[in-house]
């Protein structure tokens, strides 16, 4: 009997161990994506900046640094590719951004990352800046897969009043509200609260879409004062304070995950939508000339405060300073500290996350992105044969291996070829020396161009002749005297 009891006990232990292993293997990771806005490539501490970012630096030290990671030239296309795993040109969002006066958004037939994750049991939440459609509620985050949304819909708002053009663009789950506080701190508070109150029997997808350090350049005075003796002007000091404030929220999020015992099973992705703005056209804060100085915008003709280091160009450009973004993948129990120089892109995030979560994309909307987990975790080569940086009616850029082609179609036209291994600053155009490589990359770019949908921005913008126009919200909303969008009251007949 004793022998039988022992054998039974061993069998029970073996069974329980197998169940525990099966449960561990079946446990879906929490996913936290933190996206900075217009972050200069050289403006983090671990990249040599004097801007203090100890929390992001720690993620970089302990995680995987993707050093050839591509966003898009501007905000809307990058956010669209993050949410769909598909190139923005496939659904008409490849050109510039959605202006306040535009009525279009991310097409509703595009399956989003939170929609796919919800199907396999995830709780989904977003805080911060959306910028993928605001004029119709069908485009809003809570109608695109998020269980909870707290933040703003249009491209930018005042960091303190949350206003844009006299309207308050600040909401929680569809209800607009006026709320005191600094944008970056408020979304950090919300993110921490989401983690603290999360039911850990379900996996969490949390998207933290920062507005910082996008113009207008605004921060609490005490945070600006901390940089008053640093190099640069008041815009640089404020910009630095904005990044340090963002870094503080990153630290709070990591601490909250640790305190909730979630950190060991969480993949954190930190990145930026595009490079830092080096032209005042992309850093005005969308204010009138009279208001810019007071509101934190950069005067036209002045130099914005962001730095992309030795990379050429900035926000809006197809050169590296506009599209190569600092990116970190951090998962303390799954990823070892390393530096990856393989070409990867923001379009890869969704297919990678879905592979980890056991979720699927849409078969009739195939991914352009790839599952890059083997590259991150096992140092394997990039799964991409080529990476489309962007293609529009008048320009495009593509990378294959170390070669990058930039094509400007506007007359008189221009073709540039760079060997990024030897020339990361894109100083030497070697197109004349390597015609066969130019021909190959041009043919690839043309193939993509033939597949692109017409640009929604180009279709919409001629009516506004360059102006961003009045902000549109859902037609069921009126604007009250305080600037808040309010749902119309329909009286019974």
The set of catalytic residues is 75, 131
- For residue 293, how many other CB atoms are within 10 A of its CB? 14
Among the listed residues 35, 40, 42, 44, the one whose alpha carbon sits nearest the alpha carbon of residue 244: 44
- For residue 389, how many other CB atoms are within 10 A of its CB? 26
Q: Where are the beta strands (DSSP E) in 241-330?
A: 266-272, 327-330
Among the listed residues 399, 396, 418, the one whose alpha carbon sits nearest the alpha carbon of residue 408: 396
- For residue 429, how many other CB atoms are within 10 A of its CB? 14
Instruction: Report how far residue 414's alpha carbon sits from residue 125's, in angstroms, rounded to the nearest whole number.
Output: 44
> What are residue 452's phi and psi, to 5 degrees?
-80, 150
The string of DSSP letters for 264-285 reads GGEEEEEEESS----SGGGSST
Among the listed residues 69, 91, 97, 140, the one whose alpha carbon sits nearest the alpha carbon of residue 324: 69
Instruction: Report how far residue 386's alpha carbon sits from residue 391's, in angstroms, rounded to the nearest whole number.
Output: 13
Instruction: Report how far residue 128's alpha carbon sits from residue 171's, in angstroms, rounded to the nearest whole number.
Output: 10
> What are residue 97's phi and psi, to 5 degrees?
-135, 165
Determine the 3-state secondary structure of 319 from DSSP: coil
Q: Give strand pairing partners of 70.
A: 324, 345
The string of DSSP letters for 31-78 reads EEEEEESS--TT-SGGGT-SS--HHHHHHHHHSEEETTEE--SSHHHH
In a 13 Å sphere around the CA of 106, the CA atoms on its Cβ side amount to: 29
> What are residue 160's phi and psi, to 5 degrees?
-105, -45
Helices (H), 332-408: 349-357, 373-378
- The two tokens of residue 148 are 């909870």
Q: What Cα–Cα distance (Å) separates residue 309 from each residue in 184, 271, 324?
A: 25, 17, 11
Among the listed residues 341, 334, 328, 203, the one whose alpha carbon sits nearest the alpha carbon of residue 269: 328
- The two tokens of residue 68 are 């050839």
Place of tokens 């297919």: 351
């Amino acid at each position: 009997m004793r022998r039988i009891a022992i054998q039974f006990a061993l069998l029970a232990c073996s069974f329980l161990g197998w169940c525990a292993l099966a449960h561990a293997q079946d446990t879906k990771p929490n996913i936290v994506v933190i996206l900075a806005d217009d972050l200069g490539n050289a403006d983090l501490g671990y990249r040599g900046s004097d801007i203090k970012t100890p929390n992001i630096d720690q993620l970089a030290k302990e995680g995987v640094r993707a050093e050839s990671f591509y966003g898009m030239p501007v905000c809307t296309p990058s956010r669209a590719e993050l949410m769909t795993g598909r190139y923005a040109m496939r659904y008409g969002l490849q050109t510039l951004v959605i202006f306040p006066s535009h009525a279009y958004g991310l097409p509703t037939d595009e399956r989003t990352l939170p929609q796919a994750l919800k199907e396999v049991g995830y709780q989904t939440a977003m805080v911060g800046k959306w910028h993928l459609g605001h004029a119709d509620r069908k485009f809003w985050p809570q109608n695109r897969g998020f269980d909870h949304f707290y933040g703003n819909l249009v491209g930018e708002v005042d960091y303190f009043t949350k206003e844009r053009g006299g309207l308050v663009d600040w909401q929680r789950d569809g209800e607009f509200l006026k709320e005191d506080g600094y944008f970056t701190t408020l979304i950090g508070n919300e993110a921490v609260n989401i983690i603290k109150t999360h039911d850990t029997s379900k996996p969490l997808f949390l998207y933290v879409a920062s507005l910082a350090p996008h113009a207008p350049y605004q921060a609490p005075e005490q945070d600006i004062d901390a940089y008053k003796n640093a190099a640069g002007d008041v815009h640089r000091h404020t910009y630095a304070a904005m990044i340090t404030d963002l870094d503080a929220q990153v630290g709070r999020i990591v601490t909250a995950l640790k305190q909730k015992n979630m950190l060991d099973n969480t993949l954190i992705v930190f990145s930026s939508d595009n490079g830092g703005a080096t032209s005042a056209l992309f850093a005005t804060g969308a204010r009138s000339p009279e208001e810019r100085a007071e509101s934190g915008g950069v005067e036209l003709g002045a130099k914005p405060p962001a730095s992309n280091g030795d990379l050429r160009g900035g926000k809006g450009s197809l050169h590296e300073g506009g599209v190569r973004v600092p990116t970190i993948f951090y998962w303390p129990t799954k990823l070892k500290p390393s530096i990856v120089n393989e070409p990867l892109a923001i379009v890869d995030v969704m297919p990678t996350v879905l592979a980890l979560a056991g979720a699927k994309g849409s078969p009739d909307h195939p991914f352009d992105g790839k599952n890059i987990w083997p590259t991150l975790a096992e140092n394997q080569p990039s799964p991409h044969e080529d990476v489309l940086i962007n293609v529009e009616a008048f320009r495009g850029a593509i990378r294959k291996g170390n070669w990058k082609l930039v094509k400007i179609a506007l007359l008189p036209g221009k073709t540039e070829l760079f060997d990024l291994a030897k020339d990361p600053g894109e100083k030497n155009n070697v197109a004349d020396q390597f015609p066969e490589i130019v021909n190959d990359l041009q043919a690839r770019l043309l193939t993509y161009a033939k597949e692109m949908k017409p640009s929604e921005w180009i279709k919409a913008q001629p009516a506004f002749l360059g102006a961003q126009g009045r902000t549109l919200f859902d037609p069921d909303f009126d604007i009250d005297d305080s600037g808040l969008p309010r749902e119309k009251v329909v009286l019974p007949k």
